[in-house]
Structure 1
Amino acid sequence: MLISYKWLKSYVPDLPEPDKLVDVFTFHLCEVEGVEKKEDDTIFDLNILPDRAHDLLSYRGIAKDLAGILNIEYKNIEYKIRAGEATKLSIKVESKNCRRYMARIIRKIKILPSPDWMKNYLLSMNQRSINNLVDATNIVMFDRGNPIHVFDLDKVEGSIIIRQAKEGEKMTTLDNKEVKLSPLNMVIADEKNILALAGIKGGKVAEVTEDTKNIIIEVANFDPTNIRKTSKEINIYTDAVKRFENDLSPEIVSVSMNDMSALVLEMCKDATLEEVVDIYTKKQEKNKLSFNIKRISKRLGLDISVATVEDILKRYGVLYKNTDDDFEIVVEDMRIDLKTEEDMSEEIIRILGYEKLKEELPKINWNSKTNEVYSKIFWARNKLLNDEYSEVMTYSFRDKGEVEVLASASDKKFLRTNLSDGLKESFKLNQLNMPLLGMSEIKIFEIGTVFKKNGEKIHVAYVDKKNVVEVSLDEFCKSYQGEPLVDLSAKSYQLKANFKPWSIYPFISRDVAVWVPNVVESYQVYKVIKENAGDLLVRDPYLFDSFTKPASTAGGDGKTSYAFRLVFQSYDRTLKDEEVNEIIAKISYKISKNSSWEIR
């Protein structure tokens, strides 16, 4: 929301200079998103959060809060107007979403350009001046926070009716947009036509024009949820919606009507005023809030005195009574956010300053009891990790089980009854990557909860060669009771661990088997393969098989076979078979240059 420093100063004459006021906003009220100097004024762009939008989306709300924070005078400017004449205006409230509806007829008005002061105030809010009447509605809305609408009285037929729309009804808004309505939408209508979308946008039927002579001023309070839902449904969002959807107090309706009437009478000297029609269906009850100073002090970690709280309440003009540390206050109508003692705790520290909160670590009882279940899980995990297993975590949801989950996918309707099913699936997936990992076997385990009708249990499951073993946590710990754990971490050996990222592209593996004389060692073959494999080789050649045919045996020729597995992968592309085949061909060529070596 854009706020004029000059406009604020009319309510709080002793405001600090704009550069200092920025700090007051930031540390006590709201975030300042921008500051702009405009001739002899300064404009603040404030980010008003939803929890305070009901009172801070108005000049008076902001001015009163600033005066309380700074403990300086707040000028509550009030306008006195003459009593209205008797009226025949008929209002019918048929919708439960209208909490208060106030209307008044003013006759003999003149549509004229607005006075300069009004134009300047609107300009500071980035609003263009339209005419004296429309501008007056905007001025009062920004000042008080309650939206106002005006109808041309001579275009209204019969009573004004506040009701829900009928299915399929249509209306044309002031900006010539045709809107198809539903029963969700609340409308302001007369006996024949829809005049406005309640709390959102006026309609063309009773639009005020240059020829308007008599008007109906509408100031109302509508249900915030209904306004928000309607706004989203018809895709129209206005300044009025922004205020109504944040739950305004119905009590500001009457003062907003008074201010609007006073402005019209000031600009139209010959205008005649009729009395207001006020239908207040859901009266706002006075909110009384009780709190205890000692509890608030404990919550904030500060020693808040009774005198400090009394001073704050007096600054804001809040009625209160107290017995020692116990207070009861009558919350101001605009402050519908203050409901609990916790709210009051936050309010007190906001006014005093958050910087007064002390930095202190929470007091923790370090002599807490050992969690036996967690200790067993910790022991079991470390036992398996020390045995060179890797931990996996699988889904707790399965397509079969004993405990059903509501509103879940068909293949995940039950909680798991074992860990084995998930571990088997994980084993199959990891098998695909064995060449890349350079592993001869997959060693994985899981510790997790299984769910049965009679309760939950923690199980341990691990792969033993190719079989899955699953036992309860207690059984696992008992079976290995007394075995010491060995710390195999790099830290225990003072090793420096080096890490590099995995490639996101698939790998290709190839096996190369070579017959060599018995006198040739495997590392000699390894060396030839390694030197000619190129940069795409991501793991050292892995010797996965070897056997010898002695010359003395039948069919033996005194040779040994070494079989190596090679894994190729790129970090920037998917490899093609042709690329890898070229590398293997190069390796085969180099091997064949040794006359006594032969590719199998």
Structure 2
Amino acid sequence: MIFSYNYLQSFFKEKLPTPTKIAEILTMHAFENEYIEKKGNDYILSVDVLPDRAGDCLSHIGLARELSVLLGIKVIYPKVKIKETLKDKLPIKIEDNDDCLRYTASIIKDVKIKDSSKWIKDKLEVCGINSINNIVDITNYVMLETGQPMHAFDYDKIVGGITVRRAKKGEKISLLGEKEYVLDESILVIADDEAPLAIAGIKGGKKAEITKETKNIVLESANFNPKLISQTARRLNIRTDASIRFEQNIDPNLTASAIERAVDLIGLPSSKKIDVYKKKLKPWNIKINVDEINKTLGVNISEKEIIKILTKLGFIVKEGLIVEVPTYRQDITIPENITEEVGRIYGYDKIPLTLPPFSNPAQINYDIFWQNKAKDIMKELGYSEVFGYSFIGDQEKDDFNLSVREVINPASSYYKYLRPVIFPQLINFTKENLKYFDKVKIFELGKVFRKEERVVLSGAVSNNDYLRVKSDIIALFNNLGINKVSFTKEEIKIGKDIIGIMGIKSGITFFEFDFEKIQKNAINNREYKHVSYHPIATRDISGLVDEKIDVGEIVSKIEKINLVKSVEVFDVYKGENVPSGKKSISLRINLQSEEKTLDGQTIDKIIIKIKETINWEERK
């Protein structure tokens, strides 16, 4: 809601803090301030009043009441003087008190419809309301001040009396500045003996509107069912300042004081208030407990301080810590609401940041921990996670010559075997996805079923670049803290333990590991090693090796040699100009010492040792 800084100041003798300071105070203890804007000699404060406080704070008096508590200064309420000397009466009837809790009206005669005084125009303009005429402007001004919406009818256009009732099906009304609406029984209206005068709580109609010719008026101040107003506003797609307030729980005891304030501002004698109020809302009691308040807030506020805070807020604290709640605070219904009030006024910033004690700290589930970590690493390496069925059919079984366990009562005649491995499914997934994508890299971490249930990590890549996929696997293991990995032609080992397989089928490179074995070797707390201050020396070598020796095995042997930092394979070739039984490979050897810069002689010795280790032959 838009609030006027000068309007708020009018409720206090003391000078208020700056608009910025007020915004800070409200943000810390009540509502967030969306923005501050200078407008003429005034300031706009756009305050985000929460729904539970809309009933008492969508008004300047309501916000002034909050500032009074937070700043420790007294609110000065407007003094009202009225003369109820007119003898005129108006019959008023409420058909259903659940629709309208209270309806208050007053008649004023011999009014002159004219422009409003400048000070009222200025207040309305700052709050975003256009000036219409003196009577309509006063009803809007009272709404901004008290939070109670009002309406004025032309008294001479009312036929008979006023009835608050549901509309009749097919009944029509033309609203002020709006089109004609067709009504039904779900809509509450204010009507005379002929037709509707207004849609209750939303907008007045043209039938009894105030015009320049109006001489006598009826002021209306009522309290309607919030749910009914909200439903009607949404249904008709009409949202007004009045409907916004009526959709909240406004204090029904406001209607009479709002009428009196409007009559006072008009400055003419009025009739006695015509007031229909059968189910009167009275203050209610809530018992509080100081220990419970302190326990909930995590502080130690004395009983005296709590009573002081509640008294400032307008509550009456009786003997036995019975709190009487004023009717304008309909958001306060349980002891916890009062605890919240004490906390926000005391100051959330004063509440110490202490964690509750944990007698049994949660234990890490390492199965989930390592699985999630492995999944994250695979995704960082460019793989997409997939999820396959736990069952396979005859095609996968026969294509890959799998030993399977058949399900006695399968859900489908096709999927009748428990999968013993995952990679056949991934190969098929890859083939299917290559219809839509140029490159596919997928993995699955899931269960397989052999003699016992196991968890495996399987992957497939849409090329036969064995070495590139191998580098991905090495990166995975390195990130899991596993360094003792070796590759043979089809097997992958940690030390001497076979943990998985790797191969190529139909141009697709695949791999599959027993994840439970990986998990046993994974290291969470890895030892920190500082980066060497000495440069890396790189040498590229090309030569011949026995074609039966796996490239991965060659790399593993070289990496075990002292001062070898890493090995990259950038070419493998068999064919023309390569002797039978041999293959040509090209390696990039990275060397580094932690103690010194390697000289040429030392590097040459290491290269010679590498060649001897792998039975290297120079190409002729």
Query: What's the TM-score, normalizing by structure 1?
Result: 0.66
Alignment of 1:274-293 (within 5 A): 274-293=271-290
Counterpart in the other structure of 2:299: 302
SS of match in other structure, 1:349: helix
Distance across 1 between alignment mates of 2:347 and 2:547:
85
Alignment of 1:511-590 (within 5 A): none
Distance across 2 between alignment mates of 1:542 and 1:282:
92
* Contact residue 98 and residue 223 of structure 1 kept, 8 A: yes
Counterpart in the other structure of 1:534: none
Match for residue 105 of structure 2 among 103, 106, 110: 103
Shift in CA distance, 38/483, structure 1 to aligned 2, threshold 3 Å: closer
Alignment of 1:411-430 (within 5 A): 428-430=428-430
Structure 1 residues 360-393: Cα deviation after superposition (integer angstroms, max 9, x where no partner): 233222x45869xx5676689899999xxx9968
Counterpart in the other structure of 1:328: 322
* Contact residue 169 and residue 180 of structure 1 kept, 8 A: yes
Counterpart in the other structure of 2:3: 3
Counterpart in the other structure of 1:312: 309
* Contact residue 321 and residue 329 of structure 1 kept, 8 A: yes
Larger mean CA deviation between 329-338 and 114-123 belongs to 114-123
Cα shift at 1:150: 0.8
Q: Amino acid of the residue matched to residue 76 of structure 2?
A: K
Structure 1 residues 37-57: Cα deviation after superposition (integer angstroms, max 9, x where no partner): 344433322222212111111
Distance across 2 between alignment mates of 1:446 and 1:520:
34
Shift in CA distance, 427/262, structure 1 to aligned 2, threshold 3 Å: farther
Distance across 2 between alignment mates of 1:205 and 1:124:
30
Distance across 1 between alignment mates of 2:376 and 2:176:
72
Counterpart in the other structure of 2:42: 41
* Contact residue 392 and residue 446 of structure 1 kept, 8 A: no
Cα shift at 1:23: 2.5
Counterpart in the other structure of 1:235: 237
Counterpart in the other structure of 1:486: 521
Q: Which runs of 5+ in 1 are unaligned?
A: 397-417, 449-458, 467-478, 497-517, 524-539, 552-557, 563-600
* Contact residue 310 and residue 342 of structure 2 kept, 8 A: no
Cα shift at 1:133: 0.6
Larger mean CA deviation between 275-284 and 155-164 belongs to 275-284
Cα shift at 1:202: 0.7
Cα shift at 1:200: 0.5
Structure 1 residues 235-281: Cα deviation after superposition (integer angstroms, max 9, x where no partner): 111100111112211111111111112222x1x4xx4x222222224
Cα shift at 1:292: 1.3
Cα shift at 1:97: 1.8
Shift in CA distance, 163/100, structure 1 to aligned 2, threshold 3 Å: same
Shift in CA distance, 105/491, structure 1 to aligned 2, threshold 3 Å: same
Q: Amino acid of the residue matched to residue 57 of structure 2?
A: L
SS of match in other structure, 1:485: helix
Distance across 2 between alignment mates of 1:465 and 1:520:
25
Query: What's the TM-score, normalizing by structure 2?
Result: 0.64
Shift in CA distance, 431/296, structure 1 to aligned 2, threshold 3 Å: farther
Q: Amino acid of the residue matched to residue 352 of structure 2?
A: K
SS of match in other structure, 2:288: strand
Cα shift at 1:181: 2.2
SS of match in other structure, 1:62: helix
Distance across 2 between alignment mates of 1:37 and 1:377:
57
Cα shift at 1:21: 2.6
Cα shift at 1:289: 1.9
1:352 aligns with 2:346: yes
Root mean square deviation, CA, Å: 4.7
Distance across 2 between alignment mates of 1:257 and 1:57:
18
Counterpart in the other structure of 1:12: 12
Q: Amino acid of the residue matched to residue 274 of structure 1?
A: S
* Contact residue 174 and residue 204 of structure 1 kept, 8 A: yes
Distance across 2 between alignment mates of 1:431 and 1:494:
43
Shift in CA distance, 380/236, structure 1 to aligned 2, threshold 3 Å: closer
Cα shift at 1:437: 7.5
* Contact residue 388 and residue 425 of structure 2 kept, 8 A: no
Shift in CA distance, 492/425, structure 1 to aligned 2, threshold 3 Å: farther
Shift in CA distance, 343/492, structure 1 to aligned 2, threshold 3 Å: same
* Contact residue 176 and residue 204 of structure 1 kept, 8 A: no
Distance across 2 between alignment mates of 1:183 and 1:123:
37
Cα shift at 1:438: 8.2
Distance across 2 between alignment mates of 1:346 and 1:182:
42
Distance across 1 between alignment mates of 2:84 and 2:129:
32
Distance across 2 between alignment mates of 1:289 and 1:278:
30
Cα shift at 1:231: 0.9
